[in-house]
Amino acid sequence: MKQVGVHLLQSNATFDIEYTYLVDDTLVESGEIIRGSFVDVPFGVRKQLQTAVVWTIDKKIEDTDKKIKFKKIENISNIRAPLTESEMLLAEKMSSLYFCPISACIRCMVPPEAPKGRQVNYATLNITLEEVETLCDSGQLKNIVHIRILENLKAGRRRVSDLAKEIGCTAAVINTLAKRGYVKIEKDYCEQEDFVRDNKNGASLPTYNRHTLNAEQQTAYDFLWKLIEKQEFAECLLHGVTGSGKTEIYMQLISETIKDNGSALLLVPEISLTPQMTAHFKNRFGDNVAILHSRLSDKERNRHWNRIKNSEVSIAIGARSAIFAPFDNLRLIILDEEHEASYRSEDSAPRYHAAEIAEEIAKIKGATVIYGSATPRIETYYRALTGEIHHISLKNRANRTPLPQVEVIDMREERVVGNMDRLGIFSSQLKEELEKNYKNGKQTMLFVHRRGYAKQILCQSCGKTIKCVRCNMPMTYHEKGNRLICHHCGRTFLSPEVCPLCGSAAFEKRGLGTQKVVEELAKIFPEATILRMDTDTTSVRDGHEKLLAEFASGKAQFLVGTQMIAKGHDFPQVTLVGILSADSLINMPDYKAQERAFQLFTQMAGRAGRGNSIGKVIMQAYSVDDYAITAASSHDYEEFYRNEIVVREALRYPPFSSMCIIRFAGEDDRETYSIANAFCGKMKELCEQTVEILGPARADIPKVNNKYRWVITIKGDGREILTEFLRKFTENGRKFQNCGKVAVSINFHGR
Ligand code: ADP
Ligand code: ZN
Ligand code: ZN
C-alpha cells in the first residue's frame, strides 16, 4: 500500500487541504494512478464517495506514532484524463493568486459533463431536396404552412418546438408531415444547434476575404511572429485604433503558429462571439477550430473540449473560460479587446482575470500572449510604457477611411438657450443630424448608459457631480433619507440644497432609459424602424444575434442600446452615432469609471463610418471639459492616459497599488452589515503599515437579487502583500467562506 495526498473536487474553504488515502502499489506502478489522476474516495463519517484529484504520490507521513487508519481510494474516476503537470501548477498558482481553495481552481479545468438527461424531438427532411421542389411546385402541397416547414428544413435539422415557433404553427402540423412521410422526427439530447447553421434564417453571412497586410500591419506581424517563434514567455500589447485590421493579423499569426505545429487560442468578449465572427474563422481554418461559448449546450461544449484534448483541433476561439482549454502545445494566446470587463470572472470563485491566467499559462508553456485593443486598460498600457511587456501600435485604419469626426454638445448651454426638446433627450444639433442621416437613407446608433444603477446627482448648471473628498469618487444619491453616500469608504451626508460648487439648485437625479429614447425617436420618425438592444431585449436565446442581424440587414434605420451596441460590430451603413448621457458613465462610483467611459466612447465612435462614407459622432454632455470626453473626441488615447495616470497615482489606485475588495451579500441588511463590520474591525486591529483598510461601505450596486451588499476595500503595495495579510487574518491561511447566510467573496484589482 502507498499513501497518496488528494484534493477533493467539491470542497469549500473548510476542506481545502490535502487528505491522505491509501492505494495499491500496483496501481501506482502500472501508471494507472498518477499525479493528477481523478479518483473517487470515501469521505466523512458516512463515507460518501467524493471525486478527488491525486496531488502527491508516495506521501510521507511525518508523525508515525499516531496510528491513524487511512481509507482506501475506491476507484478511478472517468470525469476527465489526469490533470497535466502544467494544469496542476496553474491551479496552485491560481489558488495563491486569488486566495481561493485549490478545488475551485481545479473545477475550471474539468469539462462540462455530457448530459444524460432530457431528450427532445428533432425534425429532418425524409425526402430529397428535389422532391421538396416538385412537391411544392406541382401544387401537391396546398397548405402554405406545410411548404414553409419543408423549405425551412432544407437547410438541416431543427428542433420541432423551435421550428413550430418560428413558422407560427403547432407541433401537430409538423407531425402531419411526418405521417405523410415527408419529414422524419427523432428524439435526441437537447442541444444547441450548430452556431453558424443556426443563423441561416438571419442575414446571410459575409465571407471574410483574406487581406494582404499593409505596411503597418506587416511590421506588427513580423514583430509578433518573432516572439511566438522563440517559444519563450512573452507578452505584447497590440495597440491599434478601431478598424486598424487587428483581426487579419491574428488570423495570419494563428495560421503560421499551426503551420509550425503549435496551437493557438483566441479569446474574445462573449458578446462578440457572433455567428459572423465564428464564420470568418471557419471559412479560413475549416474544421481545425473549436468554438467555446456559454450558449452551447453542455454536450456541445464537452465535444469541443474533447476535440482539443485529443489534439483534433489546433485552434480554439472562446470567451473568458476558454482560457482553460486543454491544449497540449499552446504557443499563442490572444485576448482581443483586452479591456473588456467580461474577461473578469465575477460570479464564483476563483474570481480571476483571463489576462492573468493567460500570463501564468504562457509562463508555464513558454508561449506568447497578445493583448489587442484600441483602448487598452490603464494597467496594461502602464506595463507597456514601463517596458514590462512589449508594445506595438497601429495608428491607421486598414481600409483608409478616416476616423469619424466627434462633436461634443455642451448641454449646459443647450438648456440655457432652450434648445432641448421637451424631455431633454435630443439637442437641436443631434436632432438635425438624425434627420439628415435618416433622409440620406443611412443608419444611426444611439447609446444610452445602462440602467439599474443607483442614482447619480448632477448639477445642470456647472455640470459637476459631488465627490467624496476622501476617495474622489462621485457620491450616490439615496432617496431614502435624502442622502449622498460614498460607495467606496462609506462617508455620507445629507444631500445639499444647492450645488456646493456653483450655488445652483438645479440638480438632476435621474438617468435615461433606452425605452424612453425609442419612444421619443418614434415621435420624430413615425415611419422609421427602430430597434432596441439592452438586457431586456436580449435575454431570450440568441436575442442579441437576431437583433444585430436585423440591423445589419438594413431593414431598421435606428438602433438604440446600452453598452452592448458598442462592441466590435461592423455595420458599414452606420454613419451617425449619438451618445446621449455621457456624464452618467463618467460619474459611476468606481475607480475605473473614467477608463470605462473613455473606452466606451471610443468604441461607440468606432462604429461610425466604417463603410465608404465618413462617420459622425455626437456626444451630449454636461461636463464637457472632462478628460474622458475631450480625449475621446480627439481620438487621443495618450491624452486620456496622461490625465488618468496622475489621478491613479495620487489616489493610490492600480497600477500604483493592489486592491482587494471583500464583498458581503445577504438578505438581511443589518446582519450583512454587522458581519462586514466585524470583519473590518478585526482587520483593522491586525492591520500593519503595509495595508490600508477602507469600509465597510455599501457596494456600488447596493442591492442585487434582494441581497444587500457591503464591501471592505484593502489596499497594499502588491498582490502578495495583500494575500499575505489575508493569510494572517484567516486562521492557518484557511480561505474565506460564507458566514451563515451572508455570502463572502473576494475580488482583486491590480497586480
Ligand atoms: P480592428 O479589429 O482592428 O478594429 P478589423 O480587423 O475589424 O479591425 O478590420 C477593419 C476592417 O479593415 C475590416 O473590414 C477588414 O476586412 C479590413 N482590413 C483588414 N486588413 C486590411 C488590409 N490589409 N487592407 C484592406 N482592408 C483591410
Ligand atoms: Zn453646480
Ligand atoms: Zn469616500
Distance 592 CA to ligand 2 centre (A): 24
For residue 246, the ligand 1 atom closest to its alpha carbon is 3
- Is 268 near ligand 1, meaning CB less than 6 Å away? no
CA dihedral for 112, 113, 116, 117, sign (positive or negative): negative
Most confident of 11-15, 57-61, 565-569, 664-668: 664-668
pLDDT above 70 (res 747): yes
The alpha carbon of 371 and the centre of ligand 1 are apart by a number of angstroms equal to 17
With beta carbons less than 8 A apart as the criterion, state whether 358 and 367 touch: no
Mean pLDDT (whole number) for 140-151 = 84
- Locate the ligand 1 atom nearest the alpha carbon of residue 606 and give its number: 4
pLDDT for residue 191: 52
54 vs 516, residue with greater confidence: 54
Q: Is the CB of 247 under 6 A from ligand 1?
A: yes
622 CA distance to ligand 2 middle (Å): 11
Ligand nearest to the CA of 245: 1
Residue 590 CA to ligand 2 centre (angstroms): 21
pLDDT of residue 192: 46
* Pocket flag, ligand 1, residue 658 (CB < 6 Å): no
Strand partners, 267: 318, 335
Q: Give the residue, out of 216, 247, 574, with the most ligand 1 atoms within 8 A of its beta carbon, to mutate for a pocket test.
A: 247
Q: Classify residue 344 by its DSSP letter.
A: B
Would you state the pLDDT for residue 63?
A: 59
pLDDT tens-digit profile of 232-273?
Answer: 999 999 999 988 999 999 999 999 999 999 999 999 987 777
Pairing state between β 443-447 and 574-579: parallel
Nearest CA to ligand 1 atom 25: 399
CA separation for the pair 677, 158 (Å, rounded): 55
How far away, in angstroms, is 503 Cα from ligand 2 center? 6
Answer yes or no: is the C-beta of 373 below 6 A from any ligand 1 atom: no
pLDDT above 90 as % of the chain: 50
Question: What percent of the chain is modeled with pLDDT above 70?
Answer: 90
Beta bridge partners of 497: none
Q: Which ligand is nearest to the CA of 490?
A: 3
Q: Which atom of ligand 1 is nearest to the CA of 212?
A: 23
pLDDT band of residue 453 (cuts 50, 70, 90) is very low
Q: Is 214 in the pocket of ligand 1 (CB under 6 A)?
A: yes
CA 629 to ligand 2 center in whole angstroms: 19
Ligand nearest 700 Cα, by number? 3
Distance 316 CA to ligand 2 centre (A): 52
Instruction: Report pLDDT digits (tens) over 712-745.
Output: 999 999 999 999 899 888 875 566 777 788 999 9
Supply the pLDDT for residue 147: 87
**CA–CA distance, 294 with 297 (Å, rounded to integer):** 8
Cβ 483 under 6 angstroms from ligand 1: no
Cα separation, 534 vs 537, in Å, equals: 6
Quote the cell numbers at residue 193.
Answer: 444547434
401 lines ligand 1 (CB under 6 A): no
Burial 691-700 (b: 16+ CB within 10 A, else e): bebbbbbbbb
CA-CA distance, 485 to 155, in Å (whole number)?
A: 57
Atom of ligand 1 nearest to the CA of 247: 6
Query: Mean per-residue pLDDT for 126-136?
Result: 84
The CA distance from 726 to 730, in Å, is: 6
Residue scoring higher pLDDT (543 or 553)? 553
Cα 621 to averaged position of ligand 2 atoms, centre (Å): 14
Q: What is the mean pLDDT of residues 272-288?
A: 82
Report the first-to-last Cα separation within the chain, whole angstroms: 44
Q: Is the pLDDT of residue 497 over 80?
A: yes
Q: How confident is the model at residue 506 (pLDDT cuts 50, 70, 90)?
A: confident
> Which of 207, 210, 211 gets mutated to test ligand 1 (max ligand atoms within 8 A of its CB)?
211
CA of 547 from ligand 1 middle (Å) equals 23
C-alpha 475 – ligand 3 centre gap (Å): 8
Which residue has a Cα nearest atom 20 of ligand 1? 245
Q: How confident is the model at residue 112 (pLDDT cuts 50, 70, 90)?
A: confident
- Per-residue pLDDT, averaged over 448-466, amounts to 71
Question: pLDDT tens, 287-310?
Answer: 899 988 777 777 888 889 999 999
* Mean pLDDT within 65-91: 89
For 525-564, the three-class secondary structure string (H helix, E strand, C coil) is: CCCCCEEEECCCCCCCCCHHHHHHHHHHCCCCCEEEECHH
Ligand closest to 622 (CA) is 2
Per the listing, cell 489587442 goes with 372
CA of 593 to the centre of ligand 2 (A): 21
pLDDT at 450: 60
pLDDT digits (tens, 9 = 90+) for 395-410: 998 888 888 899 999 9
Quick count: other Cβ atoms within 10 Å of Cβ 147? Answer: 15
Cell numbers linked to 573: 451603413
- Cα separation, 556 vs 574, in Å, equals 11
Edge to edge, the sheet with strand 492-494 lists 455-456, 476-478, 483-485, 492-494
Please choose, from the candidates 608, 633, 628, 603, the residue with its C-alpha nearest in 3D space to the C-alpha of residue 241.
603
pLDDT of residue 78: 86
* Arithmetic mean of pLDDT over the chain: 86
Residue 209's pLDDT band (cuts 50, 70, 90):
confident
Ligand positioned closest to the Cα atom of 459: 2
Can you tell me the distance from the alpha carbon of 519 to that of 635, in angstroms, rounded to the nearest whole number?
31
Give the pLDDT confidence score for residue 195 in this predicted structure.
Answer: 40
Confidence bin at 511 (pLDDT 50/70/90): low
Which tens digits make up the pLDDT trace of 5-40?
A: 999 998 777 788 899 999 999 999 999 999 999 999
Pick the closest to residue 169 from 128, 157, 177, 121 (CA basis). 177
Compute, in angstroms, the gap from residue 108 CA to the centroid of ligand 2. Answer: 49
The letter for the amino acid at 31 is G
Binned at pLDDT 50, 70 and 90, residue 67 comes out as low
8 Å CB contact between 491 and 484: no
Q: What pLDDT was estimated at residue 556?
A: 93
Cα(244) to centroid of ligand 1, in Å?
6
741 vs 570: CA distance, rounded Å: 46
Tell which residue, 708, 721, 715, 704, has the closest CA to residue 675: 708
Which residue of 213, 214, 218, 248 sits with most ligand 1 atoms within 8 Å of its CB, as the best mutation to test the pocket? Answer: 248
245 in contact with ligand 1, CB cutoff 6 A: yes
Residue nearest to atom 1 of ligand 1 (CA): 243
242 lines ligand 1 (CB under 6 A): yes
Ligand nearest the Cα atom of residue 695: 3
CA 241 to each of CA 246, 606, 607, 640: distance values in angstroms, whole numbers, following the listed order: 9, 9, 12, 14
Q: Which ligand is nearest to the CA of 460?
A: 2
Residue 406 alpha carbon to ligand 2 centre in Å: 26
What ligand has the least distance to the C-alpha of 394? Answer: 1
**453-479: average pLDDT:** 75
pLDDT on residue 330:
97
246 CB near ligand 1 (under 6 Å):
yes
